[in-house]
Amino acid sequence: MTEAALKKENAAIAREYKELLKISYRTLSAADKKLIRKAFDVAVDGHKNQRRKSGEAYIFHPISVAKIVASEIGLDATSIAAALLHDVVEDSPDYSINDIEQLFGETVARLVNGLTKISSLKKDKDISLQAENFRKMLLTLNDDVRVIIIKIADRLHNMQTIQSLREDKQVKIASETLYIYAPLAHKIGLYNIKSELEDLALKYTEPEVYFSILNKLQESKEEQDAYIEEFSRILDSALKKEKIKYDIKGRPKSIFSIRRKMQRQGVSFEEVYDKFAVRIIYKSGLKNEKFLAWKIYSIVTDYFRPNPTRLRDWISSPKSTGYEALHITVMGPKGRWVEVQIRSERMNEIAEKGYAAHYKYKEGDTENDDTLENWIGKLQEVMDNPAASAVDFVEEFKLNLYAKEIFVFTPNGDLKSLPKEATPLDFAFSIHTEIGLKTRGAKVNGKLVPLNHKLQSGDQVSIMTSDNAKPTSNWLDYATTARALSKIRSSLKEEKKGIAEDGKEILRRKLKQLKITLNERSVNELVNYFNLKTSLDLFYRVGIGSIDNSMLKKYAASRSNVLVSFIKNKITRKKNSTSESINNEEITSKYDSLVFGKDEDKLNYKISVCCNPIPGDKVFGFLSIKDGIKVHKKDCPNALSLQSNYAYRIISAKWIDSSQQVFKAVLKITGIDEKGLVNDITKLISTSMNVNIKSIKFDSNSGTFNGEVAVEVNNNSSVSKLMERLKKINGIEKVSRV
């Protein structure tokens, strides 16, 4: 690097540092600035010989993370210092955690220690290293929530600069982001960051979809701005007449949320009716906030007809993240539905900055529960179960992250927040673990209900307990929250372990009578013989008597033939494998085929039933333990989990020579029921398009119909053409692929 270029880079680093001090959400004291300067100097020294993949000096990354922490999240000087230092210990041999503690004190050192990446993890083919990483990361919540918040800022900047990485790395990091970091940002109340993470992740997991929606949003921006101006003009005089100081802003919905609506509702971009929201932000003291919110609601609904099913009152009952607002959907100008969000300036800051703003406004307020601490406490209980696998843990943890909330009452009239679809069992475990474990029955609004009864907002729930009650395996079907499921599983496992210990001794005695020693070899043989997964399953079944004397005698009799059978099976499998390989080569030479990896190898594979890909679909291969390579669509419901947790098992795949082989596709058709419509549909498919119909089913109800047609097609483009032609038939409203 030339001296001039180095001088220019140093000047840019200095500018970034000054910008960091300027944009801080909180007022920085002289001591704060001194702490941040000291952290900046150590970070510059620690990263002096490092560069990122893009070629720029590494120090720009911690500065950018610190800027997000300071401005967009609004954390304090301690957090800004920790953000500047978050990679120093891992990346520089000159600094240890002890050095950081001596230089900056215990709090900064604890944050940096929590933020230091996990460099060595147990190598186990059956355990997702990334899921284990997530679990260890989440465990730091108990130490200090700022660790997770800074980690989210770190991930945001990595996503903003991901373009310099290889494509497979981009997909892996973007999948992790959608899988865990965006939901975490949502739960902590960082809504702006959550939306940006989701959009950036979609940009790299489904780039065609992302840019298609982005372009359409940009094309409609001028029209949207004019619409918001018209909406504001209608309300302006009425709001000013009431002497309400306010600001009206319009914002487009995030690209990711529009994509999600398109998928859930099976509609096109043009058919998504609420692509943007209008936000009314008003000035108010704490005392009059609620009164003014409903006053603005009254004014808005005087001019625009509200949709009564779309009112969301998060002022009377704030979300568990601390989010407060009134949301209403009204019929705006030109007959278009518009979502209107009514927030005070305080509510708006909490929505954008999360808990940093929550604490700023909460100083001196002791009435409200500290919802974040409550959430962390509940989360810690789930994480304390060491028996759960890393992947199960992450999946359970995610159950509650995006769940919509309901509010129910305890017998004493206290309000409890639970996820939608929660049951009395979930309620019982949310009160206390012991109450959950001893649940005998439940009453909702004074009436006895089953334990799988779905609770509704406003229900009053009472739990009946008994010392003799204990969880059964059925409870796993009744509970929905991660906390309840974790505690039930833990209890069942403890009971199973006790039975298994007795079963092991019973097995030892019975095998001794058959002149067989209970050791690792005989246990493995028995596990395979009875087609079980683990030795615990074996001992448990012996303990409950489902494996009895006669079954063990049959095992003993067949034992001498096990080796011979094993060799024969190996030979047979090899022959079958060779035969399958030859057959596969014959098929792929004549019909469509999949190729894998950079070298485009032809390998044996199975089509995954969860998404049923056909030629033309974008796909990837997943190396499963039992079934070899399984092929999934890129937008398969399980894709994010697989790519995030098991990236090392993902194989790139693509279709080639798509021309001859036929595949099944199922189309869902809805519309207005008219005479001869089914005939028009079948005629178009079989005659005009020359496509074979495998099955057809139509149900009509009060003038409308729903139908499903299974057809045989060559590839994805054939399906697309067929769907476009079907949409043109008079009476058909919507056509989508199942």
Q: Check 9, 16, 56, 90 and give the catalytic one.
A: 90
Q: Could you confirm whether 414 is annotated as catalytic?
A: no
- The helix (H) or strand (E) run that includes residue 706 is strand 704-713
CA–CA separation, 111 and 117 (whole Å): 12
- 607's CB contacts (< 8 A; 6+ apart) are 613, 630, 631
- Do 428 and 436 meet the contact criterion of CB atoms below 8 Å apart? yes
Q: Which of 566, 562, 563, 586 is nearest to 574 (CA)?
A: 566
Residue 204 contacts residue 172 (beta carbons within 8 Å): no
Pairing of strands 312-313, 415-419: unpaired
**Residue 580 annotated as catalytic:** no
Q: How big is the chain by its Cα radius of gyration, in Å?
A: 30
> Residue 364: left (phi > 0), alpha (psi -120 to 50), or beta?
left
Q: Yes or no: say if 78 and 35 are a contact pair by the CB < 8 Å rule.
A: yes
Which whole-number Å values give the CA distances from 419 to 40, 67, 378, 455, in the listed order? 43, 34, 14, 10
DSSP-assigned beta bridge partners for residue 248? 280
Q: Report the candidate in 15, 51, 72, 280 with the shortest Cα–Cα distance to residue 190.
A: 72
Query: Out of 91, 392, 495, 673, which one is annotated catalytic?
Result: 91
By DSSP bridging, strand 326-331 and strand 246-252 are unpaired
| Single-letter code of the amino acid located at 372 | L
Beta pairing class for 276-282 and 337-344: parallel
**Integer angstrom CA distances of residue 661 from 582, 618, 633, 654, 655:** 18, 17, 18, 16, 12
Residues classed as catalytic: 90-91
